[in-house]
Structure 1
Amino acid sequence: MKAFIEEWRLLISGKSVIVFIVMPLVMAAVFGYSFKNSQINEAPLAVVDLDHSKYSRELVEKLDASQYISVEGVYDNVIEPDMLFYNQHYVAALYLPAGLERNRLKGAQTNIGFYVDNTIPAAVGSIRNGVSEVIAAENAAVYTGGLKARGLTDGAIAGIATNMNLQQRLLYNPTSSMMMSTVLGFVSVILIILLGNATMSIVPRLRADGRLGEALASPLQLLLRVLPYSLAGCVSLYLTYGVLKQAGGLRLEANPFEMLIPFFIYTLLLSFFAMIIGWTAASPDKVGARSIILILPAFLLSGAMLPVMMLPEPLQYVTNILPLTWLLLFLRGIGFRGGELHYFLPQLGSAILLLAGMMAVVYLLVLKDRRAAVKLADAANEPVPASAPTQSVETSVSV
């Protein structure tokens, strides 16, 4: 009983009891809100309409009316599926061939191409079902029980009953390999832990060693301190994905030299993000608990494990400030889909703007600590009040 009382007093004397009670409640609220959507509705679909007919336009409207589909773009000319998928604007593309309406009226079968970006299999299940349902409903609408009575052959009836034949193609990850989802997520988290902890402790280490004032005098020093870790992280990424390609069969179609640019931008983003989180820690041993701020959002919200489209809309905007979101965008677009770097110039510009914003936050923290140091120096040099010497003299006389 004495041991129980001792541990109970230790528990309630600090903040542990608050953590025990509050932390599960917070995590339940975060997970419950983040993953309240069990499926993706209104998945973005591109339609390439080569028929340009009244019926093709009606079919597009019916596709857009499905709860699983949002027709985000209709193209009138031939365009390669890769061009639609590079920047993650669409998760699938439907090709309506020329002669669609004519074949429907004649009872001839038409093959419709349906291309699906399967780099994130969890993102495409709903849209595949939605498109299949619409096509099945259109086929059923053509078929009537009296066709055979009119003298049509069995072949003609079969052609009318399945007037449109949907031919699906799963692109980039046809086997739904876990290398592009689970393995990718775990490998990314390991680098976040290593690089994040290293750069998160830079400022606390300087503070504990009494050298922070020297670093604050020239913010460029902080940039120079971050660069070695960022370069090491870039090399680590490069080698890691090379091993995954050779040993695990990961699909990587990118130019290996082009991937170095987004890799380095990512490691800089992660380094400065971690530095901001760990800035106020008193010493390096105090930053460990802050790692959860890096790891948990990256693992849950960046799209490493689940598609970003499945998150509530407010959280989809939050993902844009997470460094891992940008790595996955470039990795999937350039590495998995084989897009060239110039296709991603707008996204590279956005990532650089985010990097500039993080560096600006670091500079503001530098200015804040400088002002605090000036106030402490002023307080130390403050003149002694006039009453103090008088009191000292009186004391000596009395003695």
Structure 2
Amino acid sequence: MKAFIEEWKLLISGKSVIVFIVVPILMATVFGYVFKNNQINEAPLAVVDLDHSKYSRELVGKLDASQYISVEGVFDNDIDPNMLLYNERYVAVLYLPAGLEQNRLKGAQTNIGFYVDNIVTGAVGSIRSGVSEVITTENAAVYSGTLKAMGLSDSAVAGMMTSLNLQQRTLYNPTNSTMTTSVVGFVNTAMISLLGSASLTIVPRLREAGQLGEALANPLQLVLRIVPYSLVGCVSFILSFGILKQVGGMRFEANAFEMFIPFFIYTLLLSFFAMIIGWTAANPAKAGKRSIIIILPSFLLSGANFPVLMLPEPLQFFSKLLPLFWQLEFIRGLAFRGGSLKYFIPEFGEAILLLAGMLAVVYLLVLKERRAERNMSRSGEEEPVAASAPAQSVSL
């Protein structure tokens, strides 16, 4: 009993009780909010309508009315599904062929193409169910007894009852390989730990060594200190993905030289992001403890392990502020889907705008640090003057 009382007094004497209670509550709140959507509703679908008929428009409306589907684009001309899937604006493409309405009236079967982006498998389960439900409902809309009463043959009735034949094709990751999700996520998490930790400590290290003032005089020095880490990070990524392709059989369709551009943008984003977070730390040891601020949001919100579309809308917006979001966007579009750099000009523009914003934050921090140094120097000059006044009065 004495041991129990001693431990109880030790527990309640500090902040341990508060930590034991508050931390699980905070974790439950955060993770409960992040993972509250266990499926994707309103998944973005592109429809290529080559029939241009009243029935095709009605079918598009029924698809859009499904709780699992949001028809984000309807295209009147034939288009390669890859062109619509490269940039992740849509998770699937549905083709309505010419003659759809005529075949339905005649009782002839129509094959509908359904192309699904299976890079992130969790993003397409609901849209598959939604499209299948709509097609099944359409096929069951006509009653066989009524059709026979109209004088149609059994074969014509069968054709009317299954007039829409959904032919589904899984693109990019048909075997549901974890290489494109978990493995790539682990590789990027390791890089965040290494590159982020190195960049976190740059400013605190200069401050501890008394070299920060010189760096603040020319902020370009801080930018140049980032570049070596970014270049090494790019080389590491290219080698890592090469090994994943050769050893793990991971799909990798991009040119290695082309991938250097998005890798370099990402490593710059990550380095400046880490520098900003570690800026105010007193020394490198304290800065290193802040790496969790980079790792945890990146792991949860960037789409590394589950689709960003499953996140609540405010978090979907916040995820675009994380460097890893853009890294995965470029990897999936260029390496896994085989898109060309020209298809990602808008995405590159957004990533560069984010990089410019981080540079602006760094410059504001430089100005704040300079102002603090000037205030310290002024206060240091005023103290000797104030101290000399009593000495003069004594001499009088």
- TM class by shorter chain equals over 0.9
**Partner deviation per Cα, 1:339-365 (whole Å, 9 max, x = no partner):** 100111111111111111101101111
Q: Which residue of 2 aligns with 1:277?
A: 277
Do the aligned residues in 1 keep the contact of 2:11 with 2:17 (CA within 8 Å)?
A: no
For the 8 Å contact 2:51–2:97, the answer to whether it is kept is yes
Q: How far apart are the structure 1 equivalents of 2:393 and 2:351?
A: 64
1:299 CA displacement? 0.5
Q: Partner amino acid for 1:389?
A: A
Hey, what does 1:132 align to over in structure 2? 132
Which residue is 2:219 aligned to?
219
Q: Which residue of 1 aligns with 2:233?
A: 233
Query: Within 5 Å, which residues of 2 pair with 1:307-326?
Result: 307-326=307-326
TM superposition score normalised by structure 1: 0.94
Q: CA deviation at 1:384?
A: 2.2
Q: Kindly report which structure 2 residues correspond to 1:1-399, keeping only aligned pairs within 5 A, or say none.
A: 1=2, 5=6, 9=10, 12-13=13-14, 17-148=17-148, 152-382=152-382, 383-385=385-387, 387-389=389-391
Specify the alignment match of 1:397 in structure 2. none
Once the two structures are TM-superposed, the CA of residue 176 in structure 1 deviates from its matched residue by 0.9
Q: How big is the alpha-carbon RMSD for the aligned residues of Structure 1 and Structure 2?
A: 1.9
Contact 1:142–1:163 (Cα < 8 Å) also in 2: no
Q: Deviations over 1:241-294 (max 9, x none)?
A: 111111111111112111100000000000000000000111111123211110
CA contact (8 A) 2:278 2:290 kept: yes
Q: Are residues 359 and 11 of structure 1, via their aligned partners in 2, closer, same or farther at CA, if it must alter by over 3 Å?
A: farther
Distance, in Å, in 2 between the alignment partners of 1:16 and 1:377 is 42
**CA–CA separation in structure 2 for the residues paired with 1:192 and 1:11:** 38
Q: C-alpha distance in 1, partners of 2:16/2:266?
A: 36
Q: CA deviation at 1:91?
A: 0.4
Does structure 1 retain, via aligned residues, the 8 Å contact 2:110–2:165? yes
Q: CA deviation at 1:25?
A: 1.9
Range 3-12 or range 338-347, more displaced: 3-12
CA distance in 2, matches of 1:228, 1:87: 30
CA distance in 1 between counterparts of 2:83 and 2:104 reads 30
For each residue in 1:302-356, what CA deviation from the matched residue of structure 2 results, as whole angstroms up to 9, or x when unmatched?
A: 0111111111111111011100000011111111111100111111111111111
- Gaps in structure 1 of 5+ consecutive residues: 395-399
Partner SS, residue 384 of structure 1 = helix
The answer to whether the 8 Å contact 2:144/2:157 transfers is: no
Alpha-carbon distance in 2 for matches of 1:154, 1:2:
86
Question: Judging changes above 3 Å, is the alpha-carbon distance between structure 1 residues 16 and 259 closer, same or farther for their aligned structure 2 residues?
Answer: farther
Measured in 2, the distance between the counterparts of 1:8 and 1:325 equals 47
For residue 156 of structure 1, report the CA deviation from its aligned partner.
Answer: 2.5
Residue correspondences, number:
393
| Deviation, structure 1 residue 214 | 1.4
> When the two structures are superposed, what TM-score results if normalisation uses the length of structure 2?
0.95
- CA distance, structure 2, for counterparts of residue 152 and residue 342 of structure 1: 53
Q: How far did residue 149 of structure 1 move?
A: 5.6
Report if the CA contact (8 A) 1:251-1:335 is conserved: yes
Q: Cα offset for 1:207?
A: 1.2
